Amino acid sequence: MCLHNESRNEEIRVGTMRIPIDISGSMPIYRQIQSYFEDQISAGKLPAGVKLPATRLLASRLGVSRITVMNAYAELAAEGLVVGRPGSGTYVADSPTFGTRNPAKCNREGTWPLWQRSVSSNDPADDDISCLIVPEMSGTISFASGYGDPELIPIDDLCKAARGSLRRNPVETFAATDPRGYLPLRRTISSILAMQGIPVHPDEVLVTSGSQQAISLIARLLVEPGDVVIVEEPTFVGALNSFRRAGARLIGIPLDENGMKLDMLEPIMRKLQPALIYTIPTFHNPTGVCMSENRRLWLVELAERYSVPILEDDFAGDLSYGGRSIPPIKALDQNGDVLYISTFSKIIAPGLRLGYLVASGPVLERLVRLKQISDVATSTFIQRTFESFISVGRYYSHIQRLCRIYGDRRNALVEALERAGRHCWDWRSPEGGFFLWLEMCDRIPPEILRDAMYAHGVSAVMGAIFFTKQPDTTILRLNFAALPPLAIGAGVERLQRAVTTALSGLENGHKEFKVPCEAIV
């Protein structure tokens, strides 16, 4: 057997190549093969342009199935270490990248310093969720994004807004700004909120570097180690990690079609006096559920009665696809019990981190101080650019365009799922937002479904990462906003095949799944 370097038109003999395989070990065989080639490439023993053995030939040499070798090659391709050339084979990449590899492998010859090991060992927000992440290779149809379609970012309009800001106030655009945020932007935000029924003074608005920073600031201020934090079950994983990092004791309240089940919440509030209630009442992430107006009123009453603050996360409230408009919880707040956060990043441009927080009373001043400690202030350039973009009406026309396009994509996903039938999964059609919550009719271990999805070239987020404890069912969060309708239809077909493969594998005791032949050449 030989490895062929096509670029130099010569063959490199490797007849004595030995890939150590431990059949009884806990590491899957394809991972062992993958690890061997990673080491060879990183050490320079397999230089750029070298052709890897054909999958059949290597499988025969190692005494394993060809599928096992194909899985190993697919992982190497996903890491950027090898590339497939149609009709030719698989080659070491011209510039292999190691950014996605396990960092521990970079220090294999020794051990990390003690301080490094102590830093990495005890963080409560560092639960291992790698088994719930579906890796992607070329050609994968991904429902896994947490954002909208990057092709719909209004680049030209944002560039015009940026140029206008630089032309009018070149020095101020790059100067320091108020830690609360650029005042004209806070005024614009106040105007937007007023149209949603939230009367807010600009001085009650704190501009943040995305809504994730707003969640982190509130967690740092209001949550002490051991405090109870109430969340919806499931909920946004970024919030869960912020609360875990603060040392919170998380208690999840289940959802139904009307949102959080408040009849289960009140006994907990009465007994445990939580430090905070976190909710995404409008187009919930990950389920897409909308809390009913009656429950919003009830939740505000409970917060006032037990003196517990509510953190309302309204990340996609503007993305409504025809349902009845329901006022934010903040619009029902008369006593300052509701902290309200939202973001422009999700809807406009994820890379330009810009969100905001609305609060009143002493808590706001403390949050401003924490913001200063965290990053002094959000980028003046980004704030001025967004303010210019929003104030001339581009924001509203962009929202209308997104609602039309994303609404069509929501419909495309629902129609594709209907064609596939409800014999293998169930769902509710969301009235807005980005996500559809897909629950499997049969229990499939997440790692089994993950591998089957990878083998069929489709990706989604495993629902288990959104829970405070392991759910009883197997669920996926599907993002319909980031894909065009044709890709959505093809992705659902692949997903249906992946579920069938996973269930068949469970019945037959299989732990590894076939990668389609066209995926690796």
Lowest mean pLDDT among 158-167, 237-246, 510-519: 510-519
pLDDT over 60 (residue 10): no
Q: What is the pLDDT of residue 453?
A: 92
Residue 11 pLDDT class (50, 70, 90 cuts): very low
- Using pLDDT thresholds of 50, 70 and 90, give the confidence band for residue 17: low
Task: Give this prediction's pTM.
Answer: 0.79
Sign of CA dihedral 21, 22, 28, 34: negative
382-432 residue pLDDT tens? 999 999 998 767 888 999 999 999 999 999 999 999 999 988 899 999 999
3-state secondary structure of 317: coil
* Structure confidence at residue 3 (pLDDT): 52
pLDDT for position 120: 57
- What is the pLDDT averaged over residues 45-74? 85
Read off the pLDDT of each residue in 68-97 and give the average, rounded to a whole number: 83
Average pLDDT, integer, range 342-347 = 93
Domain residue spans of the chain: 2-115, 130-146+397-519, 155-392
- What is the per-residue pLDDT across 436-471, written as a single tens digit (0 to 9) for each? 999 999 989 888 898 899 889 999 999 999 999 989
Averaged over 366-383, what is the pLDDT? 96
**Position 172 confidence tier, pLDDT thresholds 50, 70, 90:** very high
Highest mean pLDDT among 116-120, 306-310, 447-451: 306-310
Determine the topology of domain 155-392 in CATH. Aspartate Aminotransferase; domain 2 (3.40.640)
Is the pLDDT at 9 greater than 70? The verdict is no
- Whole-number pLDDT of residue 117: 66
CA distance 209 to 162: 18
Q: Name every residue whose Cβ is closer than 8 Å to that of residue 48 and which is 6 or more positions away in sequence.
A: 7, 92, 93, 94, 95, 96
Span 2-115: which CATH code?
1.10.10.10
Instruction: For residue 173, give every residue at least 6 positions away whose Cβ sits within 8 Å of its Cβ, in sequence order, or none.
Output: 165, 166, 380, 381, 384
- Map tokens 């309200």 to a residue: 340
- Fold adopted by 130-146+397-519: Aspartate Aminotransferase, domain 1 (3.90.1150)
Please state, rounded to an integer, the average pLDDT across all residues of the chain: 87
| pLDDT of 328 strictly over 50 | yes
Residue 45's pLDDT is 85
| DSSP assignment letter at 325 | P
Asked if residue 518 has pLDDT above 50, the reply is: no
